[in-house]
Amino acid sequence: MAVDGHEQRALQYEQTLMYGRYTQELGVYAREEAARLREDGRQRRSISERSPSLKLLEYEKGRCVKCRICAVHCQRFLMSRVGEDWIFLILLGLVMALVSFVMDFCIALLLQAQKWMYGGLDSNVVLQYLAWVTYPVVLISFSAGFTHIVAPQAAGSGIPEMKTILRGVVLKEYLTLKTFVAKVVGLTCALGSGLPLGKEGPFVHIASLCAALLCKFMSFFGGIYENESRNIEMLAAACAVGVGCCFAAPIGGVLFSIEVTSTFFAVRNYWRGFFAATFSAFIFRVLAVWNRDEETITALFKTRFRLDFPFDLQELPAFAVIGIASGFGGALFVYLNRLIVQFMRKQKTINKFLMKKRLLYPALVTLLISTLSFPPGFGQFMAGQLTQKETLVSFFDNRTWAKQGISEDFTFDTHLMAWKHPQANVFIILVIFIIMKFWMSALATTLPVPCGAFMPVFVIGAAFGRLVGESMAAWFPEGINTDGTIYPIVPGGYAVVGAAALSGAVTHTVSTAVIVFELTGQISHILPIMIAVILANAVAQSLQPSIYDSIIRIKKLPYLPELGWGHHEKYNIRVEDIMVRDVRYITLNSTYRDLQDILMIGNLKTVALVESADSMILLGSIERAQLQALLVQQVSRVRRQEVMRERAETERKRMSVASSPSSDDSSQKVNQEVRFQISTEESTFIPARPISPKPLKPALKRTSVAEKNIEIPTSPHDSGMGLKNLLCARPQTDVMESNNVELRQSKRVRISLLDDPDVEDDMTLGEIEEWEEQQLDEQVNFNSCKIDPAPFQLVERTSLHKTHTIFSLLGLDHAYVTSIGRLIGVVSLRELRKAIEGSMTVKGVKVRPPLASFRDSGTSGTSSESEATELHKLWDRHSSLSLPRDQQNHNTDNKTH
C-alpha cells in the first residue's frame, strides 16, 4: 500500500518536470524521430533500389524473386502501417482479451479446486475447516510475497496511480515488465483465494502495463512510439480497455475510465478507447464461445427481466431510497477503508512487528475472513459457499425469494439454495451478508496484494438492492399497478439498481450505470438506475472523496482536489489571495554566490530567471539541477587546474625559461589525463566552459556530447514513459546533490574526495579556498544552461476556478504570477490544494487574508489603477513624466462608497 522511499523521492523530483519542459523534450524527440524516419526511408529506398539488381541476379529463381519482391513490398507496407494507431489498439485489445480470458480461467480453476477440496472432505468438519482456511491463506500469502519480492508497485488497485500518471507525473517502475508479471500472478492468486476482492482496478493497471510494454515493443518498428503525448493518449485508451475487457463492457469501460482517471478529457481520444475496448470485449466474449462456455456472445451476468413492464412508476421512491442509502453506505465504505489503513499505520508496535513479518498481516486477515465464511459455521448465515460470481447471479435472479416473509420453496438451484436457511429468514441472511461483507471488503482491500474494491462493493450493493426488492415484494405481493394486468415486483431489478448505486457512490462515477447495463444485457431499468446512481453520487460526493482519491491521499501522491458539486465560492477567490509573494529568483547579473545562496535556502524545484532585480521582468525558469551543475562546474577541480595551468603558462612566459622536451612531455600527459577527465565529467555534468583545444566550435561540440550523454541513462527499459526523466535522470542528480551537500558542509572534504591521487594539485588548500571565493564572485554564465523559456504565467486576478482549470488541463506543477512582464508571485500545486480544501470547510473561504474581502468592494477602477501603477514603474525608466504616487492611498478612500 505504501509508496516506498525511493519512489516517493523520485516522484517529488519528477513533479518539477511538468510544464514547459515538454517543449524541449518534444523538440528533441521530434528531431530524433524525424531522423529515424528518414533513416528508415533511406533504408527502404536502398531496398527498392537494390531490388532490381536482386531481380537480375536471381533471375533463374523466377517465382521466388516475385515472392521476395512481394515480401519486401508487404514489409514496407507493414512498416508504414505499424505506426498507425489502430494497429496498436487492436494489438492491445487482443492481448488484454487473452490475458483476461486466461486469468479468468485460472481463477475459476483455483476456486474450483477449493470447492473440490471442501467437498471431498465432508466427512470431517475439522479437516474441512482446515482445507477451507489454509487454501486462501496460502494463496494470499503467496500473492503478497510474490508481489513484494518482484514488484511492490503492483500491490493495490492501480487506478490511483494511473490517475496520477495521466496527470503527467512519472511514477517510476509502475509500467515495467516486472510489475506486469507481479500484477498478473498476484491478482490471479488473490482472486483465486475467494476473498472479497475485485479485478477492475488491477485490470486498468494491467492494461496500462500492456500498453506501455507494447509501445516499447512497437518502437522497434517506428519512432512514433517514443512520443510522450502519444503515449499518454495510448494509456488513456488502455485504461478503457482494462475496464472494458474485465466486464465485457466497452462503453461502460470507456466512460468509467474517463471518470476515474481524467480531469479533462480530450474527445479526440474517445474513439481510441471505444475502438480498443470494443475489440477487446469482442475477443473476450468470442473466446468464451470458442471455449463452448456460451452459445453466442451475450452479457456476463445476463438477466431476463420482462421487457413490456419492467417497473412501475410507483416503485421509483424505493429506487430513490436505494440511491440515497447507497450514497451513505459508499461514503462509509471509503471512510472505513481509510480508517483501517490509518489505524494500522499508527499502531507502532503492531506496525514494527508486521514490518518484520510482512506476510503475517495478509495471512491473519485471510484467516479471519475465511473462518467467518466457513459454510458449516457462520458462513451458513451469509451464503459463504458461493463465489462472487454465483452470488451475483443469484441476486439478479427474476424470481422472488420470499413472499409474506416466509421463504419460498426454491427449485433445486444450488445457488439459490444457499440463501435458504431452516432457522433464518431470507431477510436476516441478507442483512448479515451485507454487514459482514461490508467490513470484510473494506478490510480485504487494504491487503498488500493486487486487488480492487469495485467488485466487492458491487456485490454488497446488489445484496442491499435485493433486500429492498424482497421487502417490496413481501409488502406488495400482488404488485403495485392497480388497473388491469398484475405485474409482480421483480427483486432482481432492485439488485441491479443497488449494485450500480453503491459502486457509483464508492467510486464517484455515474458510468457504473452503463457498466450494469452491459453486464446484465438489459437496459430496461435505465431510469431507476440513473436516478439511484445520481442520488448516490450526490450524497457520497458531499461526504467523502472517492475510494481512488482517498488512496491517492493515503499514498501521498500529488493530486489536485476536484471542484465538486457547486463550489461557487471559488469564483470569488483570486490568485493574488493564494500566491506566494516571496519568490526566489536569479537575475542575469547574479553571481555564483547568489546561486549558492538560493540553492542552500530550500529545496525549490525551479528558480525564476528575471532580467534584473529592479525590472523583475520574467525571462524564464531554470531547474535546480541545472543551477547546481553550473555552480559545481564553476568551482570544479578541472577548471581550477585549467586556471592554474594558464597561470603557470603566463608565469613561464614571463620567466622566459627554456623548456626541456621531457617536461613538455609530462605536461602533455597531464593534459591528456585532464582531457580524459573532462569527458567523464561531461557525461555526468553539463559543463559551462569550453575546455577542448579547438576554440572555434567548442560549445556546439560539447553540448551535443553532453546531450548524448544525458540520453544514455534512459535505457530501452523505461524509455516509454520515462521521457520526463530524460534531462535530469536520477543518478546525475544524486551526484550533483551529494556534491552540493559536500560543498555546503566542507569544501575540503569535497576536494579530498574528488582528488585523484595520480594528478598532482599545485594549489594549497588555502589557495583553493581563496580561488573558490573568487570564482563565486563572478557573474553567472547561463550559456550552457537549459532555460525553460516560457514558464506558465497567470495574472493576479485570475480566479481560483480558472486556475484550477488551467492547472488540471495542462498538468502544471507551478505557475508564475506576472503583471505586465514583472514577476510578482508564484502559485504551486500546494497553494492551490490548500486553497481548495481550505474553502471546503464549513467556515467558507478560509484562505483569504482578512482584508481580501474588504478589497473586493473597491470598484473595478482599482484594478486598472494598480495595473497602471505597475506599468508606471516600468515606464518611469523610459520617460520622465511624473504621476501621483499616492494613488494606492486613495484607493482606500474609494472603498467606502
- Ranges within 805-844 binding a copy of itself (CB under 8 A): 805-806, 809-810, 818-821
Non-local CB neighbours of 525 within 8 Å, separated by 6+ positions: 305, 310, 311, 493, 496, 497
Interacting residues with a copy of itself between 49 and 108 (CB under 8 A): 83-86
**By C-beta, is 612 or 666 nearer to a copy of itself?**
612
Tell me the C-alpha distance between 19 and 608, whole Å.
Answer: 14
CB of 343 to a copy of itself, least distance (A): 32
Of 418 and 678, CB closest to a copy of itself: 678
The reply on whether position 130 binds a copy of itself by CB under 8 A is: no
Written as one letter, the residue type at 66 is: K
Going across the sheet that includes 822-828, the strands are: 793-794, 814-819, 822-828
Handedness of CA 680, 681, 687, 693 (dihedral sign): negative
Q: Which is nearer to a copy of itself, 306 or 834 (CB)?
A: 306
Task: Kindly state the smallest distance separating residue 222's Cβ from a copy of itself, in Å.
Answer: 9
- Name the residue nearer to a copy of itself (CB basis): 111 or 824: 824
Q: How far is the CB of 890 from a copy of itself (least distance, A)?
A: 4
Min CB(418)–a copy of itself separation in Å: 25
Q: Which stretch binds a copy of itself (CB under 8 A): 257-265, 460-468, 641-649, 742-750?
A: 257-265
Closest CB to a copy of itself among residues 748, 890? 890
The minimum distance between CB 54 and a copy of itself, in angstroms, equals 28
Can you tell me which of 11, 238, 531, 768 binds a copy of itself, judged by CB under 8 A?
531
The least distance separating a copy of itself from the CB of residue 588, rounded to whole angstroms, comes to 5
Question: Shortest distance, CB of residue 91 to a copy of itself, whole angstroms?
Answer: 14
How many chain residues bind a copy of itself (CB under 8 A)?
A: 161
Q: Beta strand 606-610 with 618-623: parallel, antiparallel or unpaired?
A: antiparallel
Amino acid at 324: I
Give the span between the Cα atoms of 458 and 462, in whole angstroms.
Answer: 6
The smaller minimum CB distance to a copy of itself, of residues 667 and 703, is found at: 703
Alpha helix segments (H runs only) across 656-692: 661-684
Closer CB to a copy of itself, residue 12 or residue 572?
572
In whole angstroms, how close is the CB of 599 to a copy of itself at the nearest point?
A: 20
Considering only the stretches 104-112, 126-134, 353-361, 561-569, report the one whose residues sit in contact with a copy of itself under the rule CB under 8 A.
561-569
Among 173, 408, 707, 761, binds a copy of itself (CB under 8 A): 707
Q: Site map for a copy of itself, 644-683, x if CB under 8 A?
A: ----------------------------------------
Which of 304, 403, 556, 652: binder of a copy of itself (CB under 8 A)? 304
Judged by beta carbon, residue 437 or residue 786, the one nearer a copy of itself is 786
Q: Tell me, what amino acid is at 87?
A: I
Rounded to whole angstroms, how far apart are CA atoms 859 and 389? 64
Please say which residue, 518 or 718, places its beta carbon nearer to a copy of itself.
518
* 34 contacts a copy of itself (rule: CB under 8 A): yes
Q: Looking up cell 488551467, which residue turns up?
A: 806
Q: Which of 170, 207, 281, 721 binds a copy of itself (CB under 8 A)?
A: 281
Site map 856..885 versus a copy of itself, x via CB under 8 A: xxxxxxxxxx-xx-xxx-xx--xx-x-xx-
- Per the listing, cell 599545485 goes with 762
Q: Which of 1, 26, 117, 127 binds a copy of itself (CB under 8 A)?
A: 26
Segment lying near a copy of itself (by CB under 8 A), choices 421-429, 521-529, 672-680, 714-722:
521-529
Which residue's CB is nearer to a copy of itself, number 116 or number 290? 290
Q: How far apart are CA 177 and CA 717, in angstroms?
A: 9
CB-based burial, 425-453: b 16+ in 10 Å, e otherwise: ebbebbbbbbebbbebbbbbbbbbbbbbb
Amino acid letter, 895: K
Nearest CB to a copy of itself, comparing residues 338 and 570: 570
By CB under 8 A, the residues from 431 to 470 that bind a copy of itself are none
C-alpha 694/C-alpha 334 separation (Å) is 66
- Taking the CB of residue 648, how many other CB atoms lie within 10 A of it? 13
Torsional sign, CA 370, 372, 376, 377:
positive
Q: Cα 424–428–430 angle (5° rounding)?
A: 120
With CA atoms as reference, report the closest residue to 470 among 393, 385, 382, 397: 397
Q: Candidates 90-98, 382-390, 416-424, 556-564: pick the segment binding a copy of itself (CB under 8 A).
A: 556-564
What single letter denotes the amino acid at residue 82? V
- The piece of 106-114, 420-428, 526-534, 638-646 that touches a copy of itself (CB under 8 A) is 526-534
Interface residues for a copy of itself in 365-424 (CB under 8 A)?
none
Strand 585-587 relative to strand 406-407: parallel, antiparallel, unpaired? Answer: unpaired
Q: Does 704 sit near a copy of itself (CB under 8 A)?
A: yes
27 binds a copy of itself (CB under 8 A): yes
* Rounded CA separation 62/601 (Å): 77
Task: Return d(Cα 780, Cα 782) in angstroms, integer.
Answer: 6
* Three-state DSSP class for residue 816: strand
Task: Look at residues 568, 546, 467 and name the one whose alpha carbon lies nearest to residue 804.
Answer: 568
Of the two residues 166 and 598, which places its CB atom closer to a copy of itself in the complex? 166
Enumerate residues 582-641 that contact a copy of itself by CB under 8 A.
Answer: 588-589, 609, 611-612, 617-620
One-letter amino acid of 371: T
Query: Which of 674, 795 has the CB closer to a copy of itself?
Result: 795
Footprint (CB under 8 A) of a copy of itself, residues 183-242? 224, 227, 229-230
Q: Which of residues 144-173 bind a copy of itself (CB under 8 A)?
A: none
Radius of gyration of the chain (CA): 34
What does the alpha-carbon distance between residue 743 and residue 751 come to, in Å, rounded to a whole number?
9
Cβ closest to a copy of itself, residue 56 vs residue 313: 313
Residues 398 and 492 sit within 8 Å (Cβ to Cβ): yes
Task: Select from 56-64, 207-215, 440-448, 509-517 the region that touches a copy of itself (CB under 8 A).
Answer: 509-517
List the one residue from 134, 387, 425, 572 that touches a copy of itself (CB under 8 A): 572
By CB under 8 A, what part of segment 727-786 binds a copy of itself?
779, 781-784, 786
841 backbone φψ class: left, alpha, beta (φ>0; ψ -120 to 50): beta
Among 105, 221, 265, 378, binds a copy of itself (CB under 8 A): 265
For residue 402, the SS3 value is: strand
Q: Which of 605, 724, 801, 814 binds a copy of itself (CB under 8 A)?
A: 801
Question: Judged by CB under 8 A, which of 72, 98, 368, 526 binds a copy of itself?
Answer: 526
Q: Measuring CA to CA, how many Å separate 476 from each of 315, 325, 783, 869?
A: 11, 21, 83, 75
Cell (9 digits) for 112: 474450483
Please answer whether residues 473 and 499 qualify as being in contact, where contact means their C-beta atoms are separated by less than 8 angstroms. Answer: no
Q: Is 319 in the site for a copy of itself (CB under 8 A)?
A: no
Give the residue among 650, 639, 620 at the shortest CA–CA distance from 682: 639
DSSP strand pairing (793-794 vs 822-828): unpaired
Q: Identify the H or E element spanning 619.
A: strand 618-623
Q: In the complex, what is the shortest distance from the CB of residue 487 to a copy of itself, in angstroms, rounded to a whole number?
A: 8
Residue with smaller CB distance to a copy of itself, 138 or 580: 580
Which of the stretches 363-371, 402-410, 546-554, 888-896 binds a copy of itself when contact is defined by CB under 8 A?
A: 888-896
Name the phi and psi angles at 484, rounded to 5: 80, -130
Q: Closer CB to a copy of itself, residue 471 or residue 784?
A: 784
